[in-house]
A = this chain, B = another copy of it.
Amino acid sequence: MDSRRDFLQKLTLSAMGLPLISLSGSPDMAAFYREPYEGPVLRVAIMGLGSYGTRVAEAMQDSQKAKLVGVISGTPSKIKDWQSKYNIPAKNCYNYENFDQIKDNPDIDAVYVITPNGLHHDQVIRVAKAGKHAICEKPMAVNAKEGQEMVDACKKANVKLLVGYRMHFEPKTLEIIRMREAGEFGKIMFFQGLTGFKIGDPNQWRLNKELAGGGAMMDIGIYSVNGARYMVGEEPVWVTAQETKTDPDKFKAGVDETIQFQLGFPSGAVASCLSTYSMGNLDRFFLNGQQGYAELHPATGYGPIKGRTHKGELNQPHQTHQTVQMDEMAGIILESKKPVVPVDGEEGLKDLKIIDAIYLAANTGEKVSLKL
């Protein structure tokens, strides 16, 4: 749809007093009429007002079931900007010192933690102790030990813990999973995930071991780790890995630049993956079964995702991932809905166990056994 038609349709629907959802991104750009929603709404505070936090906030404006109502930030000027942009009352604004007081705020149901990886553990546990549901960006933590503590803390506090796996709600991804479960690819034999990009500014937190917990693996490699699991539909039982560093000045000790890793699954299927901070726009999934295949390219970007199977192009329409994610997560938290692929703390913990094993395998050269 061209922008003029898009505009006219929006105008018409608005004039009719009908709610709109914008499905952004060419070539699937479109505006759809949706039934008015009158069910429960998840009232969310975002912790961490960086670029991804901003993206989530924007996407949440189109969400029916989740509403941005609060912020937690260490930067007063950002809080001010967000307050005026999203109409957030002062009583719903916190900083990193006082956000435990959120426990006394009846107008916030959940906190979405979108801060550097190394901070997630303590922050999520504080959110849980404040009695609020936690949504945590991935990786959920920097190792499985931390992840387990977060899962335990949320269980103890009787709050839900979800991890920001937006691809678990992506329509082309879900179609491939549906086809696999229907046996349309035959026995699954191979998954390949290539995920990477060329990272810029050497001073950003993503290249700081303390804050990031690692390098590319913690940022973009986790898409291949997680993708291997939801595409193959099994949990891996072994992992091998090889690390390559071409720029040790930029990628210091403990900050991985490029890691190749391989996974073996109980059925005999294998996965071959690449995680890198030194190659531009690498974003490819390939799933091969004995009767067919699927490929996604791009596979995990913000979309539109593109892909095909042995049966032809996938043409499920694109919808802003974070909008769908927030709608679905509201359903999970408020109505105990079950997603096709889990997005809970246990799911995040499995990825961390694999990442721990990948680092161990890369460091020792050993094949590492896994039991998830």
Contact = CB atoms under 8 A, between A and B. Distances in A.
A288 B10 CA distance: 42
Contact of A192 (B194, B242, B278): B194
Contacts of A192: 192, 194, 272, 274
Contact of A282 (B245, B258, B282, B288): B288
A40 interface: no
B282 A264 contact: no
A194 B272 CA distance: 10
B272 A189 contact: no
B242 A290 contact: no
Nearest to A238: B242
Interface string A221-239: 0000000000000000000
The oligomer's copy count stands at: 2
Contacts of A286: 194, 284
Given A260-B270, A268-B244, A272-B274, A366 B365 contact: yes
Main secondary structure of the interface of A (DSSP, over half): strand
The winner among A260, A267, A276, A365 for most chain B CB atoms within 10 A is A260
Contacts of A284: 286
Contacts of A280: 290-291
B246 A264 contact: no
A279 interface: yes
A238 B267 CA distance: 29
Given A194-B192, A272-B272, A367-B242, A260 B262 contact: yes
Nearest to A291: B280
A367 B262 CA distance: 14
Contact of A244 (B258, B270, B276): B270
A258 B268 CA distance: 10
A274 B190 contact: yes
Interface of A: 189-190, 192, 194, 198, 240, 242, 244-246, 258, 260, 262, 264, 267-268, 270, 272-274, 276, 278-280, 282, 284, 286, 288, 290-291, 365-367
Given A190-B279, A246-B268, A284-B286, 11 more contacts: A189-B258, A189-B279, A190-B194, A190-B274, A192-B194, A194-B286, A245-B268, A260-B262, A260-B270, A280-B290, A282-B288
